[in-house]
Structure 1
């Protein structure tokens, strides 16, 4: 089953209010409203695109060790996923799908990482629960996400909903701003050129891991020729 098929199946059960979710229709409608407004805002059109240069960054891994994009790109291409957090089931399913595809990325000399605004402790939890063989780097205040054009502020009514559901983003992220990154996936070449970009303001939609492979294969073929 494809990643998107799994996400769609989960979404159908969640929005139907089936156990164990038991989500009231008003909650679903509020989430739909927020997603529709983010789509309509055109925010995704401002994100970095294929052909752009990727912003340089240095972020800490879950053990507090700094990791720089320059060092990662010195090894080869980079597959980068922006991850909302351990609390997001769609994001966790995406990480699991990326983990399954990790051997294919490695065959093409690519490094896989995720970037999240959550605290290091929550990233360690994400790595453990999703059995990941790649790191989640901490992006305080979503500053790197902002450099990629992905950061957005939750509307007040969605903040109120999250609070009512005990989904305390300031606690998860160690940051009072109530911001998140739009889910995004990038393939970045060693010269920092973005070879592939997929940004979707609808957090229930994610590209397949296999969608990264053509860009990586084209880069490998260019080197070999």
Structure 2
């Protein structure tokens, strides 16, 4: 009888250990899910030099900011979204992506007169969630890539590296009065995950 009880106890211990989560890089899962990245296929804007209804990637319309960045020089380019007027206050561009994700990071490719981004929002149903708001210093001449990541620790010591909701829509607001001249955005890259994950006391949990 003692041998049977010992055997059952060992099975319970082994089963419990096998179900424990491990940190990424451990011998057993779960592991941090793969982070995806994607570029927009659709866009609209408050205004555009090439018209807000453009459907070409070389007409300075919002659609010019779809797809991967394709402006490599610090020049005025037809391949980037350009607001209708210079030095004309706040303007915005809203971009749509193929897949909804829990957002972890945003990259904005500013190709001419960078430094005007004031807010980045993510659409959540009919509302907009502010992922970033503020000002920043340009570390080098254009083209410049502005980058912001989502990071949050709640009062239970749970660390989140992605938003609590999924989205496929990003809105970038710029203030054209901050930097004189034409302010142009080539593309906006969206990073994220298909499933939730978080750390609690340095232990990884999925879902």
Q: TM-score range by the shorter chain?
A: under 0.3
| TM-score, normalised by the number of residues in structure 1 | 0.24
| TM-score, normalised by the number of residues in structure 2 | 0.26
Structure with the largest fraction of strand: 2
Structure with the largest fraction of helix: 1
